[in-house]
Amino acid sequence: MTSRIIVVDPFDYVVFGGTGDLARRKLLPALYHRELDGQLPEVARIIGVSRRESSHEAYRADVKAALEKYLRPDEILPRVLETFLSRIHYVAADATSEEGWANLAALLKEGEDRVRAFYLATGPDLFGPICEHIGRHGLITDKTRVVVEKPLGKDLKSARATNDSVGRIFKEEQIYRIDHYLGKETVQNLMALRFGNALFEPLWNSAHIDHVQITVAESIGVEGRGDYYDTSGAMRDMVQNHILQLLCLVAMEAPTSLDADAVRGEKLKVLKSLKPLTGAAAEACTVRGQYRAGASTTGAVPGYIDEITNKESRTETFVAIKAEVENWRWAGVPFYLRTGKRLAARQSEIVVRFKPVPHSIFDEGAGSLAANELVIRLQPDEGVKLQLMIKDPGPGGMRLTRVPLDMSFASAFNVRSPDAYERLLLDVIRGNATLFMRRDEVEQAWKWVDPIRQAWDESRDPPKAYTSGTWGPSAAIALIERDGRTWHEDAA
Ligand code: BG6
């Protein structure tokens, strides 16, 4: 199976924070992969910008080192690497002063007709100053876009301030807010599965679905960014964005098309339908945890507190929530959400558990009837699995057994699954904002998250401890089990 490669329009990608971790680890390798597939046009430049004095040549060496670190050796082909590096340029400019901006303006002048994308891979405090310089130096053309990364605020108020600072210079349709989960193959597949098949949609409602589970479990800890993480926590880091976006894609109505505003309008309606969790309801429907020392797949690991400066921290590294979407389609169907660091495995999935059959015609000897289940695996092994009941093959009467119709995309299509950034970075060039968040979505998500966080802040209870390498605090298991349900385990 070959994928369709369409070369994009000529562009200049200007990456602020060009020497930073995100650029080195994700953005440059993603663009290199697109080069490898022949998707970059002859005329395209990638311009790294940061404060540090450097030269084009030194930055190219830096980019080469990053590619060698983050790509497999067999992915580095000398001819492709040479072409890619010839696109790389560097400008030293300071977001908080005039220094270097004239040089950037001069360089960009050489490519005035191209699509121009400014990627702000910096802290959000620099978004405003960078945008103002871009505006002041007249760097915005008809084909200019700006890309911003999370954290887009730490609550509604700061999110509005960040959005305002970018919005003062750029129009909403020029702003691309990245949530890299939306670029993951399986997440896009969720739309294909729901709206490209007649099979699921008639059943996709409270009459037929018992509940939905969304799990984004990580086995890693805070990996050297503990002090940043300590100001964020799992709710802001994962739930406000990635998990709520997944929930939206599961719960939204069919948009009229894949047009950016059609899709985002439907997602916004879901966010607005989320039952507010305030005060006692927040305490009853959420569990937060913090990991202690334990074991991960790589051996013994320290606890969260040992990895950060603030030894009194109450920051959560795990969250489980029972959420509800209050509308006609989903009334009474719980959405159990769960995410955490240092859990037993890296496993992200959406599980849609259907209701049991209304009446069994089989006698006791046939065994029990398990409910159908659709499992959409985001990672590690992307794919879709549908659990069905069939007759146990062979003679011996009617015995029933549960079997999976299981499709792993890697083995079925034999293609490398592209990193989310590969898709998203080029969508910016194509001017396709469907997989990016609109301002109102981001702010609506904060409106739901803020009262939960407030209830936690006001609570006397600290987050519940859990041992690294487990599935989180036992209260998270109780959260679902008291409703007579269990978290999905990856049983065949
Ligand atoms: C990021 C979070 O947005 O997503 C990280 O800030 C997290 O804490 C990461 O580790 C997970 O992304 P992925 O693609 O590895 O599942």
**Of 435, 423, 440, the residue nearest 172 (C-alpha):** 440
Distance, in Å, from the CA atom of 387 to the CA atom of 329, rounded to the nearest integer, reads 23
Contact between residue 174 and residue 136 where contact means Cβ atoms under 8 Å apart: no
* Residue 52 alpha carbon to ligand 1 centre in Å: 27
Distance, in Å, from the CA atom of 75 to the CA atom of 32, rounded to the nearest integer, reads 9
**Helix (H/G/I), strand (E/B), else coil: 20:** coil
Q: What pLDDT, on the 0 to 100 scale, is given for residue 199? A: 93
Per the domain annotation, does 389 fall within a domain? Answer: yes
Among candidate residues 89, 133, 211, 242, the one labeled active-site is: 242
Q: Do residues 370 and 297 share a domain? A: yes
Q: Whose Cα sits closest to atom 6 in ligand 1? A: 237
- In the residue annotation, 133 being an active-site residue is answered as no
**Of 237, 258, 277, 205, the residue nearest 436 (C-alpha):** 258
Q: What pLDDT, on the 0 to 100 scale, is given for residue 31? A: 98
* Sequence-separated (6 or more) residues with CB below 8 Å from residue 33: 71, 75, 418, 419, 422
Quote the Cα angle for 450-132-129, to 5°: 55
- Domain of 289, in residue numbers: 182-417+438-481
Contact between residue 163 and residue 443 where contact means Cβ atoms under 8 Å apart: yes
Pocket test for ligand 1, best of 227, 242, 296, 316 (most atoms within 8 A of CB): 242
Q: Do residues 369 and 261 share a domain? A: yes
**Of 3, 5, 4, 8, the residue nearest 432 (C-alpha):** 8
Q: Do residues 387 and 472 share a domain? A: yes
Give the domain CATH number at 302. 3.30.360.10
Output the ligand 1 site: residues, CB below 6 A: 218, 237
Distance, in Å, from the CA atom of 268 to the CA atom of 234, rounded to the nearest integer, reads 22
Q: What is the DSSP letter of 437?
A: B
Question: What's the structural domain count of the chain?
Answer: 2
Q: Do residues 270 and 390 share a domain? A: yes
Q: Whose Cα sits closest to atom 15 in ligand 1? A: 218
Residue 225 is encoded by which pair of tokens? 């960014």
Q: Do residues 264 and 305 share a domain? A: yes
Instruction: Name the region of 233 (left: φ>0; alpha: ψ -120 to 50; beta: rest).
Output: left
Q: Do residues 377 and 472 share a domain? A: yes
Per the domain annotation, does 491 fall within a domain? Answer: no
Phi, psi of 131 (to 5 degrees): -60, -40
Q: Do residues 137 and 189 share a domain? A: no
Q: What pLDDT, on the 0 to 100 scale, is given for residue 490? A: 64
Of 130, 149, 168, which residue constitutes the final position of a domain? 149
Q: What pLDDT, on the 0 to 100 scale, is given for residue 492? A: 40
Q: Whose Cα sits closest to atom 5 in ligand 1? A: 237
Q: What pLDDT, on the 0 to 100 scale, is given for residue 225? A: 86
Residue ranges of the alpha helices (H) in 297-438? 409-413, 420-430
Q: Which residues of the chain fall short of a pLDDT of 50?
A: 491-492
Q: Whose Cα sits closest to atom 13 in ligand 1? A: 181
Give the domain CATH number at 17. 3.40.50.720
pTM of the model: 0.95
Q: Which residues pair with 376 in a beta bridge?
A: 350, 384
Per the domain annotation, does 430 fall within a domain? Answer: no
pLDDT in tens, 123-132: 999 999 999 9
Q: Do residues 122 and 232 share a domain? A: no
Per the domain annotation, does 3 fall within a domain? Answer: no
Q: Do residues 192 and 93 share a domain? A: no
* Residue 451 alpha carbon to ligand 1 centre in Å: 24
* Residue 242 alpha carbon to ligand 1 centre in Å: 9
**Of 324, 473, 346, 415, the residue nearest 2 (C-alpha):** 415
Residue with tokens 């001069």: 106
Per the domain annotation, does 155 fall within a domain? Answer: no
16 to each of 90, 177, 253, 288, 380, how far by Cα in Å?
10, 15, 37, 35, 30
Q: What is the DSSP letter of 26?
A: I
pLDDT in tens, 68-110: 999 999 999 999 999 999 999 999 999 999 999 999 999 999 9
Q: Do residues 326 and 404 share a domain? A: yes
